[in-house]
Structure 1
Amino acid sequence: MNPNLSIVQPLLVQAGLTFFLLFWMAKERVGAIRDGTVIRNETGVRPTWVGRAGTVSNAFHNQLEMPILFFVVTILAILTGSADYPMTALAWVYVILRIVHAAIHTTYNKIPHRFVAYFLSNLVLLAMWVKLALHVFTAG
């Protein structure tokens, strides 16, 4: 496969993780509403989701934070021609670490374990940005 296109695979898996958590969150929130376990605040904005609904909701929202930079660097790598095999490998490592992070978050949720996955994924993401910057600033 063309290296510029193979980097799309981890991007699609990351998007799939986000959608998976979105639908899981919706299921848990509907259950919390039915059970009456949602805590509504007086302003009506952002109710407090407790239990499983809160955990999955937090895991989903984590996918809307740093992974945004992953989507951007991946697309820029394709556009600049820097989506080579090392960049693709970094993308896969990033996505695997995000899956590990989400799995820890939605299961036993040990914060030190979750933090390791979070920290390592951000180091990989930083490496992707550095690699992109080196390519852009040293090209032609």
Structure 2
Amino acid sequence: MIQGVSCLQSVLAPVLALIGWSLLIWLWMYAKRIPAMSKAKIDPQAARFPGSLNGLPDDARQAADNYNHLMEQPTIFYALAFFTYLAGQQNDLTAGLAWAYVGLRIVHSLIQLTVNRVTLRFLVFSLSTIVLIAWTVIVALGALS
């Protein structure tokens, strides 16, 4: 329970879920990256510049790229979730949109970490962006009324 609201009706529970997913991807990234760097005999100091680890195998790079993606657009998600909560606009619809966004980001991660088909990733990314847009419009209209 989050202040009298079930986890499925809360916009804060999906925030916690995406934070947990991001931390799992962080572990996945280093589980791939450290052995790959060791095998390639890359000095960790060589990673001080962006792109310096482009010679690593795809699976190690994909995990790092996905972690970076989870630090980009989801910042809007986090801000929107907290705004929704603080503005008192938490309801079944906004919670559903929050969970939809998290689900789509997890699907995006799984695509990037496995088959890594750009068109499929872009489709899922676009759907997640549409969810954010719809949620933003709903909350903005609620704030204006």
Please confirm whether the aligned pair reaches a TM-score higher than 0.5, indicating the same fold: yes
Q: RMSD of the TM alignment (CA)? A: 2.3
Query: What's the offset of the Cα at 1:62?
Result: 0.5
Offset of 1:68 from its aligned partner? 0.5
Distance 1:7 1:107 in 2: 29
Give the alignment's TM-score, normalised by structure 2. 0.86
* CA deviation vs aligned residue, 1:35-61 (integer Å, no higher than 9, x gap): 016598979413224221101000110
Structure 1: runs of 5 or more not aligned: none
Aligned twin of 2:66:
59
Matched letter for residue 22 of structure 1:
W
Q: In structure 1, what residue type is equivalent to 2:39?
A: D
Shift in alpha-carbon separation, 1:42–1:74, aligned structure 2, 3 A: closer
2:35 counterpart residue number:
31
User: Tell me, what secondary structure is at the counterpart of 1:81?
Assistant: coil
Matched to 1:132, the amino acid is V
Compared with structure 1, are the counterparts of its residues 42 and 106 closer, same or farther at alpha carbon in structure 2 (3 Å cutoff)?
A: closer
The answer for the alignment partner of 2:24 in structure 1 is 20
SS at 1:101 equivalent: helix
Match of 2:5 in 1: 2
Q: 1:42 to 1:14 in 2, by over 3 A?
A: closer
**Aligned counterparts of 2:101 and 2:48: Cα–Cα separation in 1:** 36
Partner of 1:69: 76
Superposed counterparts of 1:1-140, under 5 Å: 2=5, 6-36=10-40, 44-46=48-50, 47-49=52-54, 50-51=56-57, 52-138=59-145
Figure out how many residues of one structure are paired with residues of the other and give that number. 138
Q: Secondary structure at the match of 1:108?
A: coil
Distance 1:74 1:24 in 2: 26
Displacement after TM superposition at 1:65 (Å): 0.8
**Percent of residue pairs bearing the same amino acid type:** 27
Hey, what's the Cα distance between the residues in 2 that align with 1:42 and 1:57?
A: 16
